[in-house]
Structure 1
Amino acid sequence: MSLKRREFLGGTAALTTAALLPGAALAADTITLGSILDTSGNFDAYGKPMDQAMRLAVAEINATGGLLGREVAVKAYDTQSDMALYSQYANRLTRQDQVDVVHGGILSASREAIRQTMRRSETLYFYNVQYEGGVCDRNIFVTGVTPTQQVEVLVPYAMKKSGPKVHILAADYNYGQITARWIKKFVEDNGGEVVATDFFPLDVSDFGSTITKIQQTAPDLVVAPLVGGAHLSFFRQWAAAGMKDKIALASTTMGVGNEHKVLTAEEGNGIMVAYNYSQELDTPENKAFKAKWEEAYGDTSAIHELAVSTYQGILLWAEGVRTAGTTDRMPVIEALETGVSIVGPAGNIAIDPQTHHATLDVHIMEVQDQGMTVVETLNQVEPLDTQAVCNLQENPDDNKQYEIQI
């Protein structure tokens, strides 16, 4: 099943003329979508656009008749970048608000805080963020890229442009630690060598000694899965030290929250990344999406990878509801497992029935003048990492994040 191209493009007009459409007269009872995101605090650069994308997707759904003749209402909570609030709000959404679905979480720890609560309460959950892979749970759907969709694509491209010696800098938590292992695997698979790996707590912002160490290890390439505003300091300090034009730089995270727009061109130009989305994608769907965003918010500059992943995740859920003919959890899960897909701003995105992860397009890009220029596109890349450990068709009761052997 797929959301047709004309339906996606037609949403722009629908948002402005909803009152004129027959579907605008929606049934009195509503479907409730719950959202838990960091829309303030240290991670608001990720969370605010995700929240905007969620509301845009819901407005689009309602403007074209809602779901099953019913309006979709939003119940959203801001965790203020406080991990403890994720569990609190997850419980509130299921016990007090009794929502039909939850979309939310940014860091891996927030996902795990939400996931088990949703499973116990039998509430459907979507995690719309790139992550380290391995989650195997029939109650969750993941729409962001995983390491074999991103790292396996980025590393050989970056090494071909630079050389075989690689230094890894990673955030010191689940995502960074596991991603660093994937980077090492793909470096070695492509005939390279990791000369050093360093990990940094999320609040570290001084990278002076690290830059000195990199000068000593003398790699051809630095790959940096660093996370958050504090870690953005590395890219500035790297350029200030005169290193940007001496050693090539790639990242699995820089730009996912529009960090490349915060950096100057002198600081960011040439950094290599690989994601599902770039604002510079020249497709009718992306142009239509940006027009809707501009109409709703007046400025498209906030759109980033996680915002688009959230938007697409909500449209996938909606297509699952339409296919099932109900919002009840198990029929929607079973409908999504038929391989439901949509055409969104980043291209076709489909649910892999085996893992509940997304099959999607991946674009290798280089930062140029605060934009991300697409240099190569790989179509419909499957989540092979999670497929190696998770088969929900054979083991539907599985409930684990596997540590994939690398």
Structure 2
Amino acid sequence: MTFRNPRGRVGYRSFIAFAAGLSFSAAAFAQGNDPVRIGLIYSKQGPGASIGQFLQRGSEIALEQAGNKVLGRPIEVTWLDEPNPQVSQQNMQKLVDENKVVAVVGGNYSSSALAMMSVANRAKIPLILPGAAASEITGKDCSRYTFRTQATVPVQIAGVMPYLSQIGKKVYFLTPSYAFGQDILRAARGRLKENGMTEAGVDEVPVNTADYSSYILKIRQAKPDAVLGGLVGGDFSNFLKQWNEMAMKDKIPYVAVAVTDTDFWDVGPQASAGIYVKPWYYNNPKNSDAEKKFTADFEKKYGRPPSDKAWSGWIAMRALLESINAAKSTDSKAIVTALENWKNTDGPLPFYFRTWDHQLVRPSVVVKVKSKITDKYDYFDVVKQTSDTAADTEKAFGDKQQIGCNMPPL
């Protein structure tokens, strides 16, 4: 695999893996052995940089576990940035036009993902989103060429609301001011009544907010029983630090969806607290053997366990490579069809992309920060999965009428 990281001050990092005994030569690029080009779009800067690094590392482990080949051919990967929707869309177009990729894995932010999807649909290039939880991605704005591994916001909210209602009845919302945060508000407000809860206040926070003191003061004055949030990356880390510094950590519980381990590793055990919904946790006893091997391979390579974002990058890339092999082709329509038929059977509950909305149907995990953290990476106790049976999982993700996805023929 050739790995290209086109960022000026970093330069190129290239490595090519071949079977033992073979040497690098022009023969490697003979007909039938041309590299298969795959694009990555993950954040390299700003509040999502740490998330982007773990997504990329997870994808890299999947490539290495596949022998850095697909269809018996070497893989060439180009990684571009996801700094904002406009540049993410431009980078998606660049991967298509200049790098001639057969597919793209990337998109952690819902706003960027929606922008990238328009290019994927227009260029007819498969796009697998390992993040981006806004409902419309596999709902009203669904695309035949886009797939998503992250559970939707309504699924995650449904999993955490029963715990929130046990904490108290008045909830304050603190959400990011873009599609993902607006989805949290819609989903949670829709479940307030059934859980006997009321709204104590709301703030929609701009991305890259550095000072949360004014928001925290408003929360303190509102005196809610709990805060429900959805801040992402560095924004969430900044909030947790200031929440602790203003002595709120042990006064008002904080609950959130779509968090990632690096948020907590960045702030440390002193500032970490709360109940959260995550796609995966490296120290979950119920992880499959393949997931345990992924964890072991990641720790061996990087000297630390994988975050849930690393898992998301791993499973998205793994699904793509397995689907290309199943299709026996790099033709985009063949890859899409293979992804629609892809199923992971590593664990007791198989998971898959639904054919009619391309949403990965798989339980998330509800976790709680340990009362005493003794390991520098193991911050959580797993409370439960958001669903325990295949039928309940499928039901949690909604039916066609609820989701509102109307895909055109391929």
TM-score interval, normalised by the smaller of the two chains: 0.7 to 0.9
Q: Mark the runs of 5 or more structure 2 residues left unpaired by the alignment.
A: 1-16
Cα distance per residue 1:29-76 (max 9 Å; x no partner): 22111112212333201111111111221122125xx32222222122
Conserved 8 A contact 2:276-2:367: yes
Cα distance per residue 1:308-353 (max 9 Å; x no partner): 1121011112222232222211122222223x21256997431111
Q: Which residue of 2 aligns with 1:62?
A: 67
> 3-state DSSP class of the match of 2:366?
strand
Q: Does 1:199 align with 2:213?
A: no
Conserved 8 A contact 1:40-1:48: no
Q: Does 1:396 align with 2:396?
A: no
Conserved 8 A contact 1:33-1:74: yes
CA distance in 2, matches of 1:185, 1:147: 12
Q: Does 1:268 align with 2:281?
A: no
**What is the deviation of 1:391?**
4.3
CA distance in 1, matches of 2:21, 2:215: 59
User: Alpha carbons of 1:237 and 1:76: their partners in 2 closer, same or farther (altered >3 Å)?
Assistant: closer
Conserved 8 A contact 1:170-1:225: yes
Cα distance per residue 1:336-390 (max 9 Å; x no partner): 223x212569974311112101011211100122612101122453362584233
Q: Which residue of 2 aligns with 1:335?
A: 338
Conserved 8 A contact 2:48-2:233: yes
Q: Mark the runs of 5 or more structure 1 residues left unpaired by the alignment.
A: 1-16, 399-406
User: Percent identity over the alignment?
Assistant: 23
Could you tell me which amino acid in structure 2 is paired with residue 87 of structure 1? Answer: Q
Q: Which residue of 1 aligns with 2:8?
A: none
Q: Does 1:384 align with 2:397?
A: yes
Q: 2:151 aligns with which of 138, 145, 148?
A: 145
Conserved 8 A contact 2:352-2:362: yes
Count, aligned residues = 370
User: Alpha carbons of 1:83 and 1:335: their partners in 2 closer, same or farther (altered >3 Å)?
Assistant: closer
CA distance in 2, matches of 1:61, 1:322: 11
Could you tell me which amino acid in structure 1 is paired with residue 86 of structure 2? Answer: A
Structure 1 stretches of 4+ moved >4 Å: 24-27, 343-348
Q: CA RMSD in A?
A: 2.7
User: Alpha carbons of 1:347 and 1:99: their partners in 2 closer, same or farther (altered >3 Å)?
Assistant: farther
Q: Does 1:371 align with 2:376?
A: no
User: Alpha carbons of 1:130 and 1:82: their partners in 2 closer, same or farther (altered >3 Å)?
Assistant: closer
Greater RCO between the two (CA within 8 Å, min separation 6)? 1
User: Alpha carbons of 1:127 and 1:344: their partners in 2 closer, same or farther (altered >3 Å)?
Assistant: farther
Conserved 8 A contact 1:146-1:385: no
TM-score normalised to the size of structure 1? 0.83
CA distance in 1, matches of 2:193, 2:170: 10
CA distance in 1, matches of 2:284, 2:347: 8
Conserved 8 A contact 1:145-1:275: no
Which structure's residues are more often strand, by fraction? Answer: 1
Q: Which residue of 2 aligns with 1:72?
A: 75
